[in-house]
Amino acid sequence: MDYQEMEKKYLDLAGQVVEKAAKRGALAEAYITAGEELSIEVRDQQVEVLTTARDQGLGLRVICDHRVGFAFTTDFSPAALDACIEQALANARQATADEHNCLPARYPGYPSLDLWDPEITATPLEKKIELAKEIERQARAYDPRVKITESCSYNDSRYLVALANSRGITAAYHAANCGASTFVVAVENGESQTGFGLAYGLKFKNIDPARVGREGASKAVRMLGAKRVNTQRAAVVFDPYVATNFLGVIAPALTADAVQKGKSLFRGRVGQQVAAPVINLIDDGRRPDGIASSPFDGEGVPTGHTVLIEKGVLQCFLHNTYTAARDGVSSTGNGARGSFKTTPEVGTTNFYIEAGSRSPEEIIKEIPRGLYVTEVMGMHTANPISGDFSVGATGIWIEKGELTTPVRGVAIAGNIIGLLEAIDAVANDLTFFGAIGAPTIRIASMTISG
């Protein structure tokens, strides 16, 4: 696909739909995405599944008398688009009027970001297949006990976004991203343990199959022989992956939407200490090589760099156009869309805890007794409103500052706020897993149930 050419075509189409809806007396916004995807799954050095795809969709938001209506379609025929307009207008009549419902006006410009790595498109399929196979070879070569490949894959996507609204915004961009991941199983004495490795980003050259493969293998092998420990309180260290799992639970509470609806733990706490002084928490919609980077958000507002927590003190919340109007502030460029099928809600972009200065080894060395957590299970059961969590955990026991034996089948529980306050060290190994990033973090004391 020629994405420059397609951008023009779809911007025209978005403009036409907006114009038609506006003629009916509505404020209107059309959001189009279109793209291609490739996914390669390898097992035992054979291509098990190869998927290629093309898709497109249009989401239409209208506001009539301060009421929002929404409809979407993947069918771009004139009849389907007309039906979509009628549906959106009819839906608006059913919604409750809210004076803060509005669309953003035209912006003077958008940041120029490097989101298109031509190498992703130019690299031939055979080379991408070879990359996936190399991950598996590296995992197997790492240790003879790595015997089963659960999955080993490469994937990339190329897409464009075109957005037009009746207040003058017409904007488009195209982007590409790629990634690789593997889940492997190490087997010994009838026991099986899994480990994963992954890498995602905007640059093909940054996907290192050797690193991904060896990471998966080492994570699987080190869990062999895992045992339970007794129930106790002890220091706990989260590796970057586990830390990002917890960040995912905090994210909704930092949206103005949750605050305005009384569903945020952080409500009324701007300017207060909500986390340990070692914590700086940031949302950056323009981060270089950030998988969630874009020049504008799902409403056409320029993305930003927002410091949410600085030295443990809550600074502000994330906003889209609606929540900003309601609070009398400006949108932070966090009008997020899951896809063309949803209205823009408030959501994070590239969301991360800033790196500290010491290495993970140094912050582990100071622990007399504790658990280095490498995986949590059931994180989606944590309650983002109350902040209560209780998750299954696996990891490695720490004794006198050293990682010793693997541990599984234990649970850790607490409240997110208490956890944030109890963090007493942040390491320098900031790592992103998709759009969420964190370094290794240490919590002084937590209950470990075994």
Chain residues 121-160 in contact with another protein, contact rule CB under 8 A: 148, 150
The whole-angstrom separation of Cα 98 and Cα 259 is: 17
The minimum distance between CB 57 and another protein, in angstroms, equals 7
Per CB under 8 A, 421 contacts another protein: no
Residue 190 makes CB contacts below 8 A (sequence gap 6+) with none
Nearest-CA neighbor of 319 among 327, 406, 405, 232?
Answer: 327
Neighbours of 380 (CB within 10 A): 10
Per CB under 8 A, 314 contacts another protein: no
31 versus 72: smaller Cβ distance to another protein: 72
CB 426 within 8 A of CB 355: yes
The pairing of beta strand 313-314 with beta strand 369-377 = unpaired
The minimum distance between CB 63 and another protein, in angstroms, equals 12
118 versus 262: smaller Cβ distance to another protein: 262
171 versus 223: smaller Cβ distance to another protein: 223
Select from 15, 111, 401, 409 the one that contacts another protein (CB under 8 A): 409
The minimum distance between CB 30 and another protein, in angstroms, equals 14
The whole-angstrom separation of Cα 333 and Cα 298 is: 8
**What are the helix (H) ranges across 123-239?**
125-142, 209-221
Select from 4, 385, 399, 402 the one that contacts another protein (CB under 8 A): 385
Per CB under 8 A, 15 contacts another protein: no
Backbone angles phi, psi at 218, to 5 degrees: -65, -35
Per CB under 8 A, 450 contacts another protein: yes
The minimum distance between CB 191 and another protein, in angstroms, equals 7
Select from 6, 32, 63, 92 the one that contacts another protein (CB under 8 A): 92
Per CB under 8 A, 65 contacts another protein: no
| Choices 71-79, 115-123, 293-301, 312-320; region in contact with another protein by CB under 8 A | 71-79
The minimum distance between CB 231 and another protein, in angstroms, equals 4
The whole-angstrom separation of Cα 350 and Cα 291 is: 7
DSSP for residue 230: -
**Residue 348 CA: distances (Å) to CA of 249, 316, 394:** 12, 13, 28
Select from 96, 112, 189, 357 the one that contacts another protein (CB under 8 A): 96
Q: 440 by DSSP, 3-state: which?
A: coil
Per CB under 8 A, 83 contacts another protein: yes
The whole-angstrom separation of Cα 380 and Cα 428 is: 27
**The two three-digit tokens of residue 148, written as one number:** 């089963």
Give the x-and-dash track for 331-350 against another protein (CB under 8 A).
----------xxx-------
Per CB under 8 A, 185 contacts another protein: yes
Per CB under 8 A, 75 contacts another protein: yes
The whole-angstrom separation of Cα 286 and Cα 111 is: 8
Q: 379 by DSSP, 3-state: which?
A: helix
Per CB under 8 A, 115 contacts another protein: no
> Which helix or strand (DSSP H or E) is residue 41 part of?
strand 27-43
The minimum distance between CB 295 and another protein, in angstroms, equals 26
The minimum distance between CB 107 and another protein, in angstroms, equals 25
Per CB under 8 A, 386 contacts another protein: yes
The whole-angstrom separation of Cα 331 and Cα 306 is: 11
The whole-angstrom separation of Cα 119 and Cα 132 is: 16
The minimum distance between CB 328 and another protein, in angstroms, equals 18
The minimum distance between CB 324 and another protein, in angstroms, equals 16
43 versus 203: smaller Cβ distance to another protein: 43
Give the x-and-dash track for 41-60 against another protein (CB under 8 A).
--x--xxxxxxxxxxxx---
